Homo-oligomer: A and B are copies of this chain.
Amino acid sequence: MVKVEPKTLPGFMELMPNDQVKFNEMKETIKRSYERFGFLPLDTPVIEYSDVLLAKAGGETEKQIYRFTKGDTDLALRFDLTVPLAKYVAQNQNELGFPFKRYQIGKVYRGEKAQKGRYREFYQCDIDIIGDGELSIINDAQMPSVIYTTFKELGFDNFTICINNRKILNGLFASLNLRDSAADVLRIIDKIDKIGEEAVKSEIKELGVTDNAIEAIMNFILIDGNTDEKISKLESLGINDETFKIGLNEITDVVKYIRAFGVPDEFFAIDLKIARGLDYYTGTVYETFLNDYKKLGSVCSGGRYDNLAEYYTDKKLPGVGISIGFTRLFYQLNEAGAIKTENETISDVLIVPMDENIEEALNVATKLREAGINTDVYLEDAKMKKKMKYADKWNIPNVIIIGEEERNTKLYALKNMITGEQASLSVEDIIKKLRK
């Protein structure tokens, strides 16, 4: 028979089981954290009508889409979880009731240039809160609370949730008559850590911005101090623009409520350089950085938007949401040796029969499983060394060996594979010892 080479597409993550265990545990932690805040689950299809999915898209996004026909139907794979949410909410607006809080954890598809650490199929872990016509600013403070809880649960202790408000940026640029160059200026500002203050100034100057305006921008960008100091420095800039003032009020409220949610001050900060996508977010924006792994970039981002589903419905649906690009995050953390999960195994114990008389092993296994202990049994005919290698291979932390003596005494040798410790125990005692 002619063989086909068994190969996986580039840009598609396919893990070995031990890594998959870690991946799933982290994904489960994120899910549990989202549920802790009362977000409801959705699981929308991977495939949608192209005209539905691409109602808004254009440019780069559209080029990356996996789009095809089946029969006469023009189909596309989802490239994020926000557009399917917009479709879902528009479609079910009368049944849902608002505010509507949902999470979705699922794979999305983007035909990007394949490169190390970039994936064409990847998990996003999203939460959004959607309001009917309006949505309290307190929701903007809830997002950092969810991020804080989630990354704490993932085992991280040193991270910063950076917040900003698009209205502050928009107001600043409006007050300087720089609305049209705002995007370009923001792009240059974004490089300040790399290229330095002077280079930023001269690049902005090349755009034709006046020296006065450059000075105002730099004064704004270089505002420092703790969160409260930053807010009072923003106030003292005396920028007389209505949007700026609204933004400043919003960020002041958001900070107040973030604290009320119990997020310690050392875990969040105002970062006036953060803008996120220029055409979507309209208020609070978020980026999150693991301070020990800064080069990963933002590991959780999002923001407030005025209108979720304007391409599908006249109903005004403001919302706020965040997203974790989980596949990439896992890859990067794994590369950096920064995965904090403890489990690398499914089975708590492997039962190894010494001979062909296997009923006792099956019986003990059933009892352990009934007690909630994940139990594997080595059923093949093999040398003892090979059997123990199996436990080692899959990081199974305990082994129970069952031979004639064990069958007679009903006491079983339980061996801890990590410490080497061994004890002869009854099934009941083994259960007590292994139960988490």
Contacts and interface: CB of A to CB of B under 8 A. Distances in A.
28 contacts: A3-B313, A3-B314, A7-B91, A9-B45, A9-B73, A12-B47, A14-B88, A15-B42, A16-B92, A17-B41, A20-B41, A21-B40, A36-B369, A37-B375, A38-B376, A38-B396, A39-B346, A45-B121, A46-B107, A99-B380, A99-B390, A101-B376, A134-B380, A138-B358, A142-B379, A260-B359, A260-B363, A262-B363
Contacts of A102: 17
Nearest to A256: B359
Contacts of A131: 380
A432 interface: no
Contact of A346 (B38, B88, B90): B38
Contacts of A101: 376
Interface string A359-403: 100110110010011111101110000000110011010000000
Given A7-B49, A17-B102, A97-B393, 8 more contacts: A4-B51, A5-B52, A6-B87, A37-B375, A37-B376, A38-B396, A68-B68, A261-B362
A243 interface: no
Interface in A6-47: 6-9, 12-17, 20-21, 23-24, 35-47
Interface in A108-148: 109, 111, 121, 131, 134-136, 138-139, 142, 145
Contact of A23 (B9, B13, B43, B73): B43
A42 B145 CA distance: 32
Given A3-B312, A47-B121, A311-B1, A35 B379 contact: no
A62 interface: no
Contacts of A396: 38
A347 interface: yes
Interface in A145-177: 145, 149
Interface centre among A71, A359, A369, A394 (most CB of B within 10 A): A369
Contact of A350 (B8, B14, B38): B38
A185 interface: no
Contacts of A39: 346
Contacts of A305: none
A136 B380 contact: yes
Contacts of A331: none
A335 interface: no
